[in-house]
A and B are shown apart, each in its own frame.
Chain A
């Protein structure tokens, strides 16, 4: 049980740490933002508090030192400096290593503690003060629902004699949660009659707290005998489906016994706001109405807040369970296709109707379950901020990372696999792209270089671009290197695109000096392969002196794709629908007119095509009218000649396994409605072949 809780704590702490990192980096940019300081403090505080609770004493002790400093920052006694941020980031890394229990560097921890302690001005007593707020208060705050209580407090007149201070009681009460107090002063006598040591006031308090009724009672534990205390639960904080509105003012007063039913009804027959009427009628003093109004307001606010929380609530589910769900949905999609096919062949309208219903539901189920695995890509973006910050310091450059579209959602597994390639590309931009500050100044650019990382949906894929305003790719250097490595012949005339694409060739690196950051020559080809493994594509564009743009396109999900089924010599093949532009006919006439060149005229544009029959080594005579499926790949249009276009298909992607791993042109397989297997064509590979043939 405890282990499980520790796991939960770890999970939470991990999240808090990444939040902390974000906040710290933001804070660096706007050091005056007190909201951010508070956020950092809260994160630290929670890590410490719950750490201590679950036995992570080392974390609690260490975090305490950091928290102390941020408490001072919060109170404006220390200002946010770059040094403080760097220290805090290091501290955050240290907490992380403590949490994971690996590469714990105790001397580093001790050094960090010293540095933090050095930041605390010795005169402040804050070090002693903070532990008081340590324990689990923060934990339970989130775990229990906030209930609203009505407390009516009548103290005996001579209460001050006994040493009790009513104000202290009320303050203590207000520490339990949001609290509104109305003092009833109508019993206070005229000044001449007043005994200054008597307490004439009584109070109506409305408190919204998560601590439960016992902690309220605890506040009054020492005055129990000397007080008339009434605590009523007026909103249990659990039911959120009841309406936002709370009782009407008259009902509240009736509840409290401040008015009798008859009186209320008599007043109700008049036509003013009930509170005003009651005051006018002198049935209830003004304070009582105020207290009742307070109650109404508090409960409404509490319920409103809870509704907002409820709607944003989430459930933690292990990733494997989601994967399992998606797998099962995949099976279901396959079975549904079979059902539709069987129904269509049976000419039974009832069965057809059922099949259509199942099809609709399956579609929705598929979309929903795939959506569950979607995460905003921003989770990786924030990691890069740290990367850029650390690296630019290391390289002595001034670089700012801007991100756009962090909320773009993409499949979890895709995000995980994107991380390494993106790290590599950003490192490259920083190392090779952005110049040193002096160089930039001389070139008339701002000293601080910018790397823009953006993500956006386009069709059923996500486009991620990494854009820098550095020096751009060196066309001549790449060309020279390409010739040296024997990748191209010395007299080849290459377009800019072709030259830039050389950097994706294996073993290509133009950096003259191998730095710690990049330039080990295992760079871009690995990136390209990783992207292609995700069935994505990568392209680079660059202008000398202006910078480079790298564009990555990744399909939204790896599990199910929309595809177009085609047939070639009786076998079905699937092509990803996302790359398809249109289908046109190819007649024997067209072929003769092209004089042996594989080119087709699509509304005035010449598009190269390849015959998949020839590609697959099928040499039987093709049908007289074939179809060309026109696809686009990084702005290049390529046609694939097939026998027939069958139609659209939801393809659940299956791997072909190790036996077929060397098969080019095929990226997977899918199961059709009739139980047969159709191969999914790897359009990238095919397009490459087409390009080579066109040359």
Chain B
């Protein structure tokens, strides 16, 4: 992993969730799609929007807004699906992340990135790789592997199952 980061470390894809700007290192991004029909999958956590047909393979789509505890992403003309490659228990998995709009590809030098703040963000700090500064605006650089780690998924699913039992 260290190697891929050293190659792509300076380039980031920025996108908006609600009115906040986030970024992903470009090495993780496979492509960006327009919003298409998403098929719901029953009995999944509500941040999982469903699955789409990506040229013949079935790829799950996650709603980052919901994942970070914000409002449900509404579909607009700008809504995009960012297809990312994440590392899950040593295996590469493809999934789509729903974003309100995709901005641009930026170059950020390491000195433009600060370590994640301990307090002051709505997000859990382990999801954040760093805070980038660009045109006097802060960009939250996500650690997407952590966001969709196997643990994350299974804890949420357990919670979901418990809810189901309680209901």
Contact = CB atoms under 8 A, between A and B. Distances in A.
Interface of A: 331, 334, 571-572, 615-617, 654-660, 662-666, 669, 671, 675-679
B119 to A, nearest CB: 31
B58 interface: yes
Contacts of A662: 154, 157
Given A664-B43, A671-B53, A658 B88 contact: yes
Contacts of B148: 659
A665 B53 contact: no
Contact of A663 (B37, B43, B52): B43
B71 interface: no
Given A617-B42, A663-B43, A658 B53 contact: no
Given A660-B51, A676-B53, A655 B93 contact: no
A interface, by DSSP: helix, strand, loop or mixed?
mixed
A334 B52 contact: no
Given A659-B95, A659-B153, A665-B43, A331 B56 contact: yes
Interface in B112-162: 148, 150, 153-154, 157
A659 B93 contact: yes
B78 interface: no
A676 B60 CA distance: 13
B103 interface: no
Interface residues of B, number: 29
B40 interface: yes
A571 B40 contact: yes
B51 A669 contact: yes
A656 B59 CA distance: 7
A654 B53 CA distance: 10
Contacts of B58: 654-657, 669, 671, 677
Contacts, number: 75
Contacts of B43: 616-617, 663-666
A616 B42 contact: yes
Nearest to B37: A676
Given A654-B56, A666-B42, A677-B52, 18 more contacts: A572-B39, A616-B43, A617-B43, A655-B58, A656-B51, A656-B58, A659-B95, A659-B153, A663-B42, A663-B44, A664-B43, A675-B36, A675-B37, A677-B50, A677-B51, A678-B39, A679-B41, A679-B42
A664 B44 CA distance: 9
Nearest to A674: B37
11 contacts: A571-B39, A657-B59, A658-B88, A658-B93, A663-B44, A666-B41, A669-B58, A675-B36, A675-B53, A677-B51, A678-B39
Nearest to B57: A654
Contacts of A616: 42-43
B59 A663 contact: no
Contact of A677 (B39, B42, B62, B153): B39
A192 B154 CA distance: 109
B48 interface: yes
Given A656-B60, A664-B43, A677 B53 contact: yes
A678 B50 CA distance: 11
A659 B48 contact: yes
Contacts of A572: 39
A680 to B, nearest CB: 10
B91 interface: yes
A691 B153 CA distance: 29
A102 to B, nearest CB: 27
Contacts of A663: 41-44
B141 to A, nearest CB: 23
A90 to B, nearest CB: 42
Nearest to B95: A659
Contacts of B51: 656, 660, 669, 677, 679
A169 to B, nearest CB: 69
Contacts of B91: 658
A615 B42 contact: yes
Interface of B: 36-37, 39-44, 48, 50-53, 56-60, 62, 88, 91, 93-95, 148, 150, 153-154, 157
Contacts of A615: 42
Most buried by B among A571, A659, A663, A678: A659
A554 to B, nearest CB: 23
B35 to A, nearest CB: 13
B67 to A, nearest CB: 12
B56 A665 contact: no
A421 B150 CA distance: 29
Contacts of B56: 331, 334, 654, 671
A658 B150 CA distance: 9
B140 to A, nearest CB: 23
A86 B150 CA distance: 51
Contacts of A678: 39
A677 B51 CA distance: 7
Contacts of B157: 662
A666 B60 CA distance: 14
Contacts of B42: 615-617, 663, 665-666, 679
A660 B41 contact: yes
A650 to B, nearest CB: 15
Nearest to A659: B60
A675 B51 CA distance: 12
A227 to B, nearest CB: 72
Nearest to B50: A677
In the A-B complex, the 7 residue pairs with the smallest Cβ-Cβ separation, listed nearest first, are: A616-B42, A677-B39, A659-B60, A669-B58, A654-B58, A677-B51, A676-B37
B163 to A, nearest CB: 10
Contacts of B59: 657
Contacts of A657: 58-60, 93-95
Contacts of B88: 658
A268 B79 CA distance: 93
Nearest to A671: B53
A663 B51 CA distance: 13
Contacts of A654: 56-58
B154 A676 contact: no
B92 to A, nearest CB: 10
A675 B37 CA distance: 9
A671 B36 CA distance: 14
Nearest to A334: B56
B54 to A, nearest CB: 10
A283 B39 CA distance: 90
A658 B91 CA distance: 10
Contacts of B39: 571-572, 669, 676-679
Nearest to B153: A659
Contacts of B94: 657
A656 B41 contact: yes
A146 to B, nearest CB: 49
A683 to B, nearest CB: 14
B133 to A, nearest CB: 33
A665 B41 CA distance: 10
A571 B39 CA distance: 7
A678 B40 CA distance: 9
